Structure 1
Amino acid sequence: MAIEINWIRDDASLARHCAEWQRLPYVVLDTEFVRVDTFYPLAGLVQVGDGSRAHLIDPLLIGDWSSFAALLENPAVVKVLHATSEDLEVFQRLAGALPVPLFDTQIAAAYLNLGFSMGYSRLVQELLGIELPKGETRSDWLQRPLSATQVSYAAEDVLHLAEVYQALQAKLPQDKNAWVLEDGAELVANQLRVTAPEDAYRDAKLAWKLAPAQLAVLRELCAWREREARTRNQPRNRVLRENSLWPLARYQPDNLVSLARIDDMHPKTVRQDGEFLLQLIKDAAATPPHSWPAPLPEPLPLEASALLKKLRAIGQREAERLDMAPELMLRKKTLEALLKSGFPNGPYQLPESLRGWRRELMGQALLDTLAGQPPGEQA
């Protein structure tokens, strides 16, 4: 059966279609992009499904994305995507907007205990009994013209995604549907949280091992790397490799020979930015103590692992009770943040990252377990 495809290749056509989509209860969305040598994804195609047709927007020909931004931000139209994290970056770059409300079919599948982080092809097979052809995700989506295989693949994606959404909606009870949308809102909120370059050092490997004077150097190195990656539109590791950051801050080389000997230091970095990096390290090392960052918290000790296991078991029990994928329940980072708030003797505080239905259902049980009483019993 031939697929009906509608190409959108100019601003007026996009505005006209967006006005029509604004009246729908939902639209399905997908993107194809290239991200090999760049910091930002390069959009090659945006697909929109209205439940019956596939619309392919050529981003190389669109100059005005305001109508599409209005559609993304319309709270009356549910935006349906699958495994949406990188798509959000594409929408933010193209339209300066993010999809709300967002229904991620991969998350919905986990709420129905079909599987966690389920691939799109497998979900289509599971719900629709359709075996999709091998994907074109690694092909060149910036080439023009696109191949017939690429076009067919992109169009089929949104046509089947609409059917997947309808099948999931038929199975999802009202509370779980609300939770899927809650998690979608969290994905959007995370995309909007931009870490300041000056705070990037907090996420560097082994940063907790450094003294405040060394952290001052690491802070400047990470901030420079973050800004340069964005300015040059290159991956962070192309600017300065992750594994070089800690030894640079620890040993603080003062000449090009020493710099070149740093772990995982790329020769091109030494040639292109070596002198600058040496000066940056020297200047950062000379900053007064009052401007140094505070020491970073150490990882949890081994003796916390038994307690971590107990806390994870609370999520496991709730997952079984609700017939959901256990990975949905309590994220490891959340449990570690909870333990770090008071380990080993308390008192403990629920972290800000434990929000919504998870906090409501499991927050008190977590605190009770840490206080040494069985979940649900009053002190």
Structure 2
Amino acid sequence: MGETLFTQGAMIRLHKHDLPDGLDFGASVAIDTETMGLDPRRDRLCLVQLSAGDGTAHCVQIIPPALGGRGSDCPNLKRLLADPAVLKIFHFARFDVAMLHHALDVTVAPVVCTKIASKLVRTYTDRHGLKDLLKDLLGVEISKQQQSSDWGAPDLTPEQLAYAASDVLHLHALWAKLKALLQREGRLDLAEACYAFLPTRGRLDLLGYEDPDLFAH
């Protein structure tokens, strides 16, 4: 199952190249990525972290062939990302969906995004980052200290893995809170329409339609 790390009551499993055979995340999986930068067309995908919301995070290190890895040869991971029966929960899905499409040639669907949900129902604040949402809605504090570290390193530190895991361990609970708010405010159908469009929005970003925005005047 790969290297195992225990931190702050959570279990983190590091897998090189792909998820192990037979791993079942159930009906929904929280997903995040770590990359060498914020341009999916330029910057390398380094890590994909996933959780079933059960206190365990699985981190898949994507290593290019030039560095002795398998690159996009990760069939188990790609099968899960494209599985229409498994809901994928992201925070800022627009970036992750585009990155996964570019790096692994897979269309990730169906998806929900906690950042979009927050912007639709928490219009009384501009605090829509994951750190703020977890603190405001769940009372959970996470550190962003490792956010700008070198994710392309061949060996990731325990601190990096703990940071990466923290981005997915609480997404199920966060989505449950935000989904209830969307239902309360009558905006769940609007959110679902946005989510259905996200794979296309990611493809537009990859084609350079981020700026100018295709939908601008």
TM-score normalised by the shorter chain: which range applies?
0.7 to 0.9
Shift of 1:38: 8.8
Asked if the contact 2:33–2:45 (Cα under 8 Å) also holds between the matched residues in 1, the reply is yes
Question: Aligned letter for 2:58?
Answer: H
SS in 2 for 1:103: strand
Give me the TM-score of the superposition, normalised by structure 1. Answer: 0.47
RMSD value, Cα: 2.9
Asked if the contact 2:17–2:74 (Cα under 8 Å) also holds between the matched residues in 1, the reply is no
* Residue 133 (structure 2) pairs with residue 123 (structure 1): yes
SS in 2 for 1:90: helix
* Residue 166 (structure 2) pairs with residue 159 (structure 1): no
Identity rate, percent: 26
* Residue 190 (structure 2) pairs with residue 179 (structure 1): yes
Query: Which of 85, 90, 95 lines up with 2:99 in the alignment?
Result: 90
Q: 1:118 to 1:66 in 2, by over 3 A?
A: same
Q: 1:131 to 1:39 in 2, by over 3 A?
A: same
Give unpaired runs (5+ residues) of structure 1.
204-331, 338-379
Asked if the contact 1:109–1:118 (Cα under 8 Å) also holds between the matched residues in 2, the reply is yes
Shift of 1:101: 1.4
SS in 2 for 1:138: coil
Instruction: For 2:75 and 2:168, locate their aligned partners in 1 and report how far apart those are by CA, in whole Å.
Output: 22
Relative to total residues, which structure has the larger strand share, 1 or 2?
2
Instruction: For 1:167 and 1:66, locate their aligned partners in 2 and report how far apart those are by CA, in whole Å.
Output: 33
Q: 1:143 to 1:181 in 2, by over 3 A?
A: same
SS in 1 for 2:9: coil
| Deviant stretches of 4+, over 4 Å | 36-39, 194-197
Q: Which has the higher contact order (CA 8 A, sep 6+)?
A: 2
Asked if the contact 1:106–1:116 (Cα under 8 Å) also holds between the matched residues in 2, the reply is no
For 2:3, the equivalent position in structure 1 comes to none
Instruction: For 2:39 and 2:180, locate their aligned partners in 1 and report how far apart those are by CA, in whole Å.
Output: 42
Q: 1:113 to 1:69 in 2, by over 3 A?
A: same
Shift of 1:75: 2.2
Question: Aligned letter for 1:169?
Answer: K
Instruction: For 2:94 and 2:175, locate their aligned partners in 1 and report how far apart those are by CA, in whole Å.
Output: 18
| Length, aligned pairs only | 200
Shift of 1:185: 2.1
Relative to total residues, which structure has the larger helix share, 1 or 2?
1
Q: Which has the greater radius of gyration? A: 1
For 2:154, the equivalent position in structure 1 comes to 144
Shift of 1:166: 2.2
Instruction: For 2:21 and 2:156, locate their aligned partners in 1 and report how far apart those are by CA, in whole Å.
Output: 23
Query: Which of 92, 112, 118 lines up with 1:109 in the alignment?
Result: 118
Question: Aligned letter for 1:58?
Answer: Q
For 1:238, the equivalent position in structure 2 comes to none
Give unpaired runs (5+ residues) of structure 2.
1-7, 64-68
Instruction: For 2:101 and 2:40, locate their aligned partners in 1 and report how far apart those are by CA, in whole Å.
Output: 16
Give me the TM-score of the superposition, normalised by structure 2. Answer: 0.78
Query: Which of 28, 31, 34 lines up with 2:33 in the alignment?
Result: 31
